[in-house]
């Protein structure tokens, strides 16, 4: 009896709770909660979190007022971000937000950046973000807390090893997003931690099809872990569930997952995190904040992963059930009668009764919903009819609008015609009495030409007196031709002196004869075309001149060059073409702004223009490129001397506004017709030679040589190969140790890139870095270098080497990227290391090129704890005096100084002075390229801090560095001790 009573009470309580849950949705939401998700709807991990958040809030009568699926991950560009920003600005203007829930790193980043501007500066709760990224993003923000998402990598590997004791090979599947790669790295580290003999293979660079092929042939001692995976290496996007279904169907080894939404779709199991649970915990925190607890006072928490196994997979791989941990949740397990205990049966009955109750309520619910649906359909039909009506009237409106447009067009035409007629009537009219040689002018005509009394005597005399000398003859010829019947009309454009100045006129007329055929009269009109002529000449000028500098432009150079080539070929002479490019002009432009750059171009153009003379023609090709054409030269030597003179123009510093600085130019020289007989060939030759001058260190000229064609072709091939090198994983980083002179211990490494090209074999950095710089490819390459070096440093720290630092070479092109500082900080944060363990090497000359701009960026990086190394010191401007103003920590003395130490035992030589000065400024010194014992002894004597060079070690692979560190832990650098 008590059991039955308990059941009845339970049913009653259930119905009350159920009704409350169903109908509580109608209750008014108290706060405005915004959920931000940077993925699109359908991405299970964030959808589950969103569900967890929404459901948890509903339980306390709160509703998530706004859910924004930003869909930013599919198009992660600055433009898209701007569009989202603008959209939210409009949407949330005047709305108050009480709480922001951000369910992934990008959403958190967005929320923190714009909450003040867009979302009422509401407190932020994050979920689904791992600890290192979350801590990095929230650093410096007060009103934010949340739930970390740290998958249990090691737990999952241990689970796999327990299920398959023969496990030796672990394959990792993750995508190449930041998040994916981080997961991949952590999975690899976890595998090694559990058992160092596990062989770990990452499949992230394979396409979907290749992964399927690989999985189909895995040996029995293998298992696969799938991390964050929503697109393959070719960019093919799929829901993670589809991926895992397909992978599992093909794989000959079990798949393990880190997130619970993959279980049941083919994964054997794993220590999984639940998106729903993340959302629930985050909403729990959100509730506390809404209740008045400050976000800053709530520590972020972290759910534990739980073991979950799919029974179907246990059966498929024949895993003995005793290998499954007892605490694991097993899904898809078939129900077994013998498993049921007596209490189980009672619970079953109670559940059955409850289910019946629920079904009854659901049926009632369905009836209500059908009624509502019917009503909706009726109003939908009404709305459709209304819409059709509106569409029809819109069509009518459009027709009327088109008609109006046609009428307007017709009106405009007739107005134009009217204007023409009016202007025609405004022309001056004249009438020439040939027999008496008297010309009568209409009032308008007399006024236009300033003729007193409206009449003149003797037409030809009038012409002779008023048409400028040298221009009279064609006018008289046209007149006589017409009088003699050679032309149907007289028509002539010429200049005419008037009391108001020289005017251009168009004179038209027709002669009249009497019955005897004698010419007696001629009448016609005169139009003032001065304005038209002025416009024509402006247009003509613009067509052949550069608007900024006033020099001739490419079109007029083309004409002139063609003529020069022909005349040289006829006269068996030579001509020369100098193609000039200002060195580092881009840097000047980027640093001081375009209008400053323009002013500099005008000054340079004036300097060239002074050389312009009968035989020399100067033109601007565009940008910072100029051409000087020498119509004739007697010899190649003369052309070279001219190129030298051009370089000398820039020997003195230039003053542009209040700034005075030195600029240089690079010149490509080609001779015609020997090097080429068409303008195109000559431009190409001179351009190639100019690029060669740049390669040779700039500020020089180079004479074209036919071999340059081959070099250019090879360079293009190299450039193409370089474009594919990152995708083909052809780069490798080597690390060269930097050794402390006083202790003999390794202090850190310089990361040095190597390229193993499929087409060219091993290529040294000197052979490709400058091509990468010119093509901009250095930016992605540099990112790869930084990421790899940071990753390696992270791995070393995990091995216990906490005091090392790796330095990375940076190119000027990278430094000029607007987001350079952010990208460096991001790479460091992603690797989970702190900035003191990273150094950036900047060459001295690069730093000097655009001083203020670079300095500010480096200073900012330095404020963040990153070390700045001044590389190749002594090779550039050798500006010892600048040293004290630079934001640097370390000076690397160039190898050329170190080489000198072998020769002369100078007490106070340059190297000793540089080291001493560096110390005085509180900087550390590194000697580069130390090769001999003698150099080392001298450097010890000079108190140099660190050495780098073949004497200690060549650049080594990661594996070799690990071995070297293991050895040097007990025995310090042998050569130095």
Binding site for ligand C2E (CB under 6 A): 736, 752-753, 764-766, 769, 778, 782, 785, 809, 811, 841, 871-872, 928-931, 948-950, 955
| Residue 736 binds which of ligand C2E, Mg ion, none (CB < 5-8 A, kind-dependent) | ligand C2E
Please report how close the Cβ of residue 896 comes to ligand C2E at its closest, in angstroms: 11
**CA nearest neighbour of 642 among 627, 652, 656:** 627
State which residue, 97 or 827, has the beta carbon closest to Mg ion.
827
Stretch (H or E) spanning 285: helix 275-290
Whose Cβ is closer to Mg ion: residue 579's or residue 749's? 749
Specify the stretch interacting with Mg ion by CB under 5 A; choose among 442-450, 628-636, 802-810, 936-944.
Answer: 802-810
Compute the Cα dihedral for 228, 233, 238, 243 and give only its sign. negative
Q: Which does 949 bind (CB under 5 to 8 A by kind): Mg ion, ligand C2E, none?
A: ligand C2E
Q: In the complex with Mg ion, which residue's Cβ is closer, 208 or 731?
A: 731
| Choice between 227 and 955, CB closer to ligand C2E | 955
Give min distance, CB of 894 to Mg ion, in A. Answer: 10
Q: Is 657 left (phi over 0), alpha (psi -120 to 50) or beta?
A: left
Nearer to Mg ion, 546 or 894 (CB): 894
**Closer by beta carbon to Mg ion, 74 or else 845:** 845
Other Cβ atoms less than 10 A from the Cβ of 607: the count is: 14
**Nearest distance in Å: CB 778, ligand C2E:** 6
Please state, in angstroms and rounded to a whole number, the distance separating the CA atoms of residues 62 and 25.
9
CB closer to Mg ion out of 46 and 809: 809
**Paired strand residues for 627:** 579, 619
Min dist CB 809 to ligand C2E, Å, is: 4
The distance of closest approach from Cβ of residue 94 to ligand C2E in the complex, given in angstroms and rounded to an integer, is 50
CB 491 within 8 Å of CB 475:
no
- Provide, rounded to whole angstroms, the least separation between the CB of residue 928 and Mg ion: 8
Q: Please, are residues 577 and 682 in contact by the beta-carbon 8 Å criterion?
A: yes
SS3 (DSSP) at 244: helix
955 binds, among ligand C2E, Mg ion, none (CB under 5 to 8 A by kind): ligand C2E
Query: 929 touches which of Mg ion, ligand C2E, none (CB within 5 to 8 A by kind)?
Result: ligand C2E
Which of the choices ligand C2E, Mg ion, none does residue 769 contact, using the CB cut-off of 5 to 8 A by kind?
ligand C2E
Residue closer to ligand C2E by CB (options 631, 871) is 871
Contact 577, 672 (CB under 8 A): yes
Give residue for tokens 């168009």: 506
Using alpha carbons, select from 241, 273, 257 the residue that is nearest to residue 156. 257
> Which is nearer to Mg ion, 525 or 809 (by Cβ)?
809
The distance of closest approach from Cβ of residue 763 to ligand C2E in the complex, given in angstroms and rounded to an integer, is 10
Burial class (CB in 10 A: 0-12, 13-18, 19+), 875: middle
- Residue 87, CA distances (Å) to 42, 70, 81, 84 in order: 22, 11, 10, 5
CB 755 within 8 A of CB 811: no
Is 894 a binder of Mg ion (CB under 5 A)?
no
Contact between residue 573 and residue 567 where contact means Cβ atoms under 8 Å apart: yes
Task: Name the binder of 705 from Mg ion, ligand C2E, none, CB < 5-8 A by kind.
Answer: none
Q: Rounded to the nearest whole angstrom, what is the least distance from the CB of residue 842 to Mg ion in the complex? A: 9
The SS3 of residue 291 is coil
- 428: nearest Cα among 524, 509, 493, 525: 525
Question: Residue 262: which of 208, 226, 212 has the closest Cα?
Answer: 226
Nearer to ligand C2E, 667 or 804 (CB): 804
Residue 751 near residue 796, CB atoms below 8 Å: no
CB of 740 to ligand C2E, least distance (A): 16
- Quote the least distance from Cβ 628 to ligand C2E, whole Å: 34
In angstroms, what is the minimal distance from the CB of 881 to Mg ion? Answer: 23
For ligand C2E, the closer of residues 110 and 755 by Cβ is 755
Residues 822-881 that bind Mg ion (CB under 5 A): 841, 871
Closer by beta carbon to Mg ion, 182 or else 928: 928
Cβ–Cβ contacts within 10 Å for residue 488, how many? 8
What are 819's two structure tokens?
């987001």
CB of 799 to ligand C2E, least distance (A): 23
Of all residues in the shown chain, the one whose CB is closest to Mg ion is 841
CB of 709 to Mg ion, least distance (A): 34
Chosen from Mg ion, ligand C2E, none, partner binding at 830 (C-beta under 5 to 8 Å by type):
none
Cβ at position 935, least distance to ligand C2E in Å? 9
Report if residue 948 touches Mg ion, rule: CB under 5 A: no
State the number of CA atoms in the 13 A half-sphere of 728 facing the CB: 12
964: left (phi over 0), alpha (psi -120 to 50) or beta: alpha
Question: How many residues does this entry show for the chain?
Answer: 977
Nearest Cα to Cα of residue 217 among 183, 243, 250, 265 = 250
Q: Which of ligand C2E, Mg ion, none binds 12 (CB below 5-8 Å, type-dependent)?
A: none
Q: Which is nearer to ligand C2E, 643 or 828 (CB)?
A: 828
Q: How near is the Cβ of 714 to ligand C2E at its closest, in Å?
A: 20
Q: Which is nearer to Mg ion, 640 or 732 (CB)?
A: 732
Q: Helix, strand, or coil here: 504?
A: strand
260 binds Mg ion (CB under 5 A): no
| Residue found by looking up tokens 């729990």 in the block | 284
Size of the site for Mg ion (CB under 5 A): 3
CB of 152 within 8 A of CB of 269?
Answer: no
185 vs 871, beta carbon nearer Mg ion: 871
Produce one character per residue of 41-75: b if its CB has 16 or more CB atoms within 10 Å, e if not.
eebbbbbbbbebbbebbbeeebbbbbbbbbbbbee
Out of 736, 809, 911, 924, name the contact with Mg ion by CB under 5 A.
809
Q: Least Å distance between CB 871 and Mg ion?
A: 4
Residues 44-63 that bind Mg ion (CB under 5 A): none
Q: Please state, in angstroms and rounded to a whole number, the distance separating the CA atoms of residues 39 and 107.
A: 9
752 binds, among ligand C2E, Mg ion, none (CB under 5 to 8 A by kind): ligand C2E
**Contact 125/285 with Cβ under 8 angstroms?**
yes
Q: Are 510 and 523 in contact (CB under 8 A)?
A: yes
* CB of residue 841 to ligand C2E, shortest distance in Å: 6
| 152 near Mg ion, rule: CB under 5 A | no
872 binds, among Mg ion, ligand C2E, none (CB under 5 to 8 A by kind): ligand C2E
Please give the Cα distance from 951 to 943 (Å, whole number): 18
Q: Tell me: cis bond preceding 764? Omega within 30 of 0 counts.
A: no
Which CB atom, from 841 or from 849, has the smaller least distance to Mg ion? Answer: 841
Segment contacting Mg ion (CB under 5 A): 10-18, 172-180, 809-817, 877-885?
Answer: 809-817
Calpha distance 891→924 (Å, rounded): 6
931 binds, among Mg ion, ligand C2E, none (CB under 5 to 8 A by kind): ligand C2E
Owner of token pair 């899904």: 331
Q: Could you give the CA distance from residue 771 to residue 777 in angstroms, rounded to a whole number?
A: 8
Give the gyration radius of the chain's Cα atoms: 42
Q: Which is nearer to ligand C2E, 582 or 961 (CB)?
A: 961
Classify residue 93 by its DSSP letter.
T
785 binds, among Mg ion, ligand C2E, none (CB under 5 to 8 A by kind): ligand C2E
* Interaction mask 226-245, Mg ion, x per CB under 5 A: --------------------
Residue ranges in contact with Mg ion by CB under 5 A: 809, 841, 871
């Amino acid at each position: 009896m008590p059991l039955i009573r308990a059941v009845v009470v339970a049913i009653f309580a259930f119905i009350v709770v159920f009704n409350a849950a169903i109908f509580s949705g109608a209750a008014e939401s108290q706060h405005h909660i915004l959920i931000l998700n940077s993925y699109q709807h359908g991405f299970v991990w964030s959808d589950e979190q969103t569900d967890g958040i929404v459901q948890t809030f509903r339980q306390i009568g709160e509703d998530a007022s706004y859910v924004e699926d930003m869909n930013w991950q599919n198009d992660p560009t600055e433009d898209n971000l701007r569009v989202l920003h603008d959209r939210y600005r409009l949407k949330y203007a005047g709305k108050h937000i009480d709480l922001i829930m951000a369910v992934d790193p990008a959403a958190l980043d967005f929320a923190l950046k714009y909450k003040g501007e867009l979302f009422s500066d509401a407190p932020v709760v994050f979920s689904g973000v791992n600890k290192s990224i979350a801590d990095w993003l929230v650093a410096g923000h007060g009103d934010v807390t949340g739930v970390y998402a740290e998958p249990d990598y090691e737990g999952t590997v241990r689970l796999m090893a327990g299920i398959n004791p023969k496990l030796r090979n672990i394959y990792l599947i993750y995508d190449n997003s930041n998040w994916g790669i981080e997961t991949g790295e952590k999975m690899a580290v976890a595998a090694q931690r559990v058992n160092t003999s596990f062989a770990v293979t990452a499949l992230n660079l394979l396409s979907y099809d290749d992964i399927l092929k690989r999985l189909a042939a895995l040996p029995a001692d293998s298992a696969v872990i799938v991390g964050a995976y929503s697109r393959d290496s070719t960019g093919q996007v799929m829901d993670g569930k589809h991926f895992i279904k397909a992978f599992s169907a093909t794989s000959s080894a079990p798949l393990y997952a880190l997130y619970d939404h993959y279980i049941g779709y083919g994964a054997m199991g794993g220590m999984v995190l639940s998106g729903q649970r993340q959302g629930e915990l985050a909403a729990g925190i959100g509730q506390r904040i809404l209740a008045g607890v400050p976000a800053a006072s709530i520590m972020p928490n972290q759910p534990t992963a739980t073991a979950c196994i799919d029974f179907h997979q246990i059966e498929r791989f024949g895993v003995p059930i005793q290998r499954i941990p007892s605490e694991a949740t097993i899904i898809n397990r078939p129900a077994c009668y013998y498993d049921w205990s007596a209490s189980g049966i009672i619970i079953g009955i109670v559940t059955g009764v409850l289910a019946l109750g629920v079904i009854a309520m659901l049926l009632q619910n369905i009836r209500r919903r059908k009624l509502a649906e019917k009503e909706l359909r009726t109003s939908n039909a009404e709305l459709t009819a209304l819409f059709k009506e509106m569409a029809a009237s819109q069509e009518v409106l459009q027709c009327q609008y088109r008609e109006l447009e046609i009428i307007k067009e017709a009106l405009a035409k007739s107005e134009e015609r009217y204007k023409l007629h009016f202007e025609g009537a405004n022309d001056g009219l004249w009438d020439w009495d040939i027999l008496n040689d008297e010309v009568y002018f209409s009032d308008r005509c007399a006024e236009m030409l300033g003729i007193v009394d409206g009449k003149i005597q003797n037409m030809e005399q009038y012409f002779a007196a008023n048409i400028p000398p040298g221009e009279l003859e064609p006018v008289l010829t046209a007149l006589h031709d017409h009088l003699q019947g050679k032309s149907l009309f007289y028509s002539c454009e010429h200049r005419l002196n008037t009391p108001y100045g020289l005017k251009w006129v168009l004179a038209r007329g027709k002669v009249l004869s009497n019955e005897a055929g004698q010419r007696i009269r001629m009448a016609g009109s005169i139009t003032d075309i001065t304005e038209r002529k002025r416009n024509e000449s402006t247009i003509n000028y613009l067509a052949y001149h550069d608007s900024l500098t006033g020099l001739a432009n490419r079109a007029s150079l083309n004409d002139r060059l063609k003529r020069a080539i022909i005349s040289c070929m006829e006269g068996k002479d030579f001509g020369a073409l100098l193609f000039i490019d200002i060195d580092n002009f881009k840097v000047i432009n980027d640093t001081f702004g375009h209008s400053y750059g323009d002013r500099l171009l005008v000054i340079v153009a004036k300097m060239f223009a002074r050389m312009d003379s009968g035989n020399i023609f100067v033109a601007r090709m565009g940008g910072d490129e100029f051409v000087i054409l020498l119509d004739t030269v007697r010899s190649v030597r003369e052309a070279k001397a001219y190129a030298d003179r051009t370089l000398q123009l820039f020997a003195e510093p230039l003053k542009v506004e209040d700034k005075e600085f030195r600029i240089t130019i690079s010149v490509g020289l080609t001779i015609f017709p020997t090097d080429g007989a068409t303008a195109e060939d000559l431009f190409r030759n001179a351009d190639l030679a100019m690029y060669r001058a740049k390669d040779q260190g700039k500020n020089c000229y180079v004479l074209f040589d036919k071999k340059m064609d081959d070099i250019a072709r090879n360079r293009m091939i190299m450039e193409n190969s370089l474009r594919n090198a990152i995708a083909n994983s052809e780069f490798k980083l080597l690390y060269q140790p930097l050794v402390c002179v006083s202790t003999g211990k390794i202090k850190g490494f310089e990361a040095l890139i190597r390229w193993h090209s499929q087409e060219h074999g091993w290529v040294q950095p000197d052979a490709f870095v400058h091509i990468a710089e010119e093509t901009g490819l250095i930016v992605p390459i540099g990112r790869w270098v930084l990421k790899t070096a940071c990753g390696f440093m992270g791995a070393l720290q995990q091995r216990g080497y906490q005091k090392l630092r790796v330095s990375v070479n940076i190119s000027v092109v990278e430094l000029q990227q607007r987001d350079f500082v952010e990208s460096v900080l991001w790479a460091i944060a992603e690797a989970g290391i702190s900035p003191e363990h990273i150094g950036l090497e900047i060459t001295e000359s690069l730093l000097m090129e655009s001083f203020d701009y670079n300095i500010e960026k480096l200073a900012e990086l330095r404020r963040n704890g990153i070390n700045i190394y001044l590389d190749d010191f002594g090779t550039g401007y050798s500006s010892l005096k600048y040293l004290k103003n630079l934001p640097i920590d370390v000076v690397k003395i160039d190898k050329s100084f170190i080489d000198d130490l072998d020769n002369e035992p100078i007490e106070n030589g340059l190297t000793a002075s540089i080291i001493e000065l560096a110390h005085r400024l509180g900087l550390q010194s590194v000697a580069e390229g130390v090769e001999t014992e003698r150099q080392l002894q001298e450097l010890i004597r000079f108190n140099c801090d660190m050495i780098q060079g073949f004497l200690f070690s060549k650049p080594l692979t990661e594996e070799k560095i690990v071995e070297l560190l293991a050895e040097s832990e007990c025995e310090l650098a042998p050569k130095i001790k």
